[in-house]
Structure 1
Amino acid sequence: MNYFAHLHIASVTNTSWVGNLLGDFSVDANQLDSDLLVGWRLHQKVDVMVDKHEASLLFRSMSRKGRRRFSGIVQDIAMDYWLIQYWGRFSDVSLEKFCDQALVGLVKDKDRSPDRLKSMIRSLEHENWLSNLGTMEGVDKAIRSIMRRWKHGEHLQGFVDDLPSVIAQAEAPFLSLYPDLLDYVALEMKRAEATHSLG
């Protein structure tokens, strides 16, 4: 899951918007405030669950131009695309309202964010592009952003070259995976609450 899905999970679990994004940024978990730490831990658990899910294994095994070992990176972005396409199935809040809520929550904790996340939040303040992650152009831009930052970014070019096919391949895995993921995070929150009450 990429930014959009982690923000959705923050909303359904009532945990920190910034905290749920921190897993994609360089931070020292031992230095995080307690609310951010809850979100960071949830992000880590989500990533592990998604990586092991049979739908993810299926997506990574599909034939395409891009190298299989890097397909998980693209899967995360493609999953955001499909979450936005099927938004009404997973939320009673309109897409526009959700994007506004996410921005407000991120801005509130901007000063507690690492520099690169601060920069991202500032860009959202200038123009809230979250819903653009549900467009082919937005997916292309997200992948190219990773390509620029990552020293092995050229290995993602094959996915960009075949992007419509890659996006289409992700639809069925998303529909299989995401309901399971929401059930998983709900269970994790219940476990956390039970542990806290016992403590």
Structure 2
Amino acid sequence: MNYLAHAWLARHSDDAILGAILGDFVFGQSALQDWPPAVRAEIVRHRRIDQYTDAHPAVVAARGLFDAAGLRRYAGIVLDVYFDHCLARGWVRWNDAPLGDFTARVYRVLDAHREALPPRLQAIAPRMAAHDWLGSYAQRGNVDHAVRGIATRLSRNGDKLVACLDVLRVEETAIDAAFGAFFPDLVHAAARMRP
């Protein structure tokens, strides 16, 4: 899952939202000690959610749709971004409050902790808020834009990540169905992972 889904799964507290976002920026066991227990617990939960996601049969099958093009290795990144699109696009199914209210909360949490954020997140967070990255996932075109941006930050094979967008367009209906099968399971599993 990508930023929006991780933050949404951690919506029970601001510390949890912070930890959910930090999960992509804090690595290893020793780095966990830099954070308070509630944040630390959500970083660990983020990692478990990623493992659950990667192993879920619907996600495994969706990654398999990229095999013929030789792009399975890069499919997970594209699926993470696309699944955030599916969540944002169907937001009213999962939430009573508007998407904009939730994304504003996430940006406030990041801003309130900006001095403590790891350098890479410290650099990204203001752009994330200024361009409403999380809310922008509701528009399909922003999936392509986000993937192209990620590709520019890869040290190599960014072109292969961008090539995944062609497969995504062809297989979008099947990938939508994969999200529909997978996400309710994830919601239940993630709730059981809470400390």
In the superposition, the TM-score normalised over structure 2's length comes to 0.88
In the aligned structure 2, how far is the partner of 1:82 from the partner of 1:47? 17
- TM-align CA RMSD: 1.9
Give the letter aligned to residue 181 of structure 2: S
Q: Is the 8 A contact 2:58 2:182 kept in 1?
A: yes
Q: Does the 8 A contact of 2:19 with 2:40 survive in 1?
A: yes
Deviations 1:146-171 (A, max 9, x none): 21111232221211334433443321
Shift of 1:120: 1.8
Matches of 1:67 and 1:137, distance apart in 2: 21
Does 2:41 match 1:38?
Answer: yes
Displacement of 1:12 = 4.2
1:195 is aligned to: none
Q: Which moved more, 1:44-53 or 1:139-148?
A: 139-148
Between Structure 1 and Structure 2, how many residues are aligned? 190
- 1:2 Cα deviation after fit: 0.4
3-state DSSP of counterpart to 1:24: coil
TM-score by length of 1: 0.86
| Rounded Cα–Cα distance in structure 2 between residues aligned with 1:187 and 1:36 | 17
Question: Shift of residue 36 of structure 1?
Answer: 2.0
1:29 aligned residue: 32
Q: How far apart, in 1, do the equivalents of 2:15 and 2:172 lie?
A: 29
Residue 16 of structure 1 pairs with residue 20 of structure 2: no
What secondary structure does 1:135 align onto?
Answer: coil
Which residue does 2:105 correspond to in 1?
101
Residues 1:85 and 2:89 aligned together: yes
Tell me if structure 1 keeps the 8 A contact 2:23–2:43: yes
Higher mean C-alpha deviation, range 147-156 or range 59-68: 59-68
The 1:82/1:12 distance shift into structure 2, 3 A limit, reads farther
Corresponding residue of 1:168: 173
* 1:59-78 correspondence runs (5 A): 59-62=62-65, 65=69, 67-78=71-82
Unaligned runs of 5+ in 1: 193-199
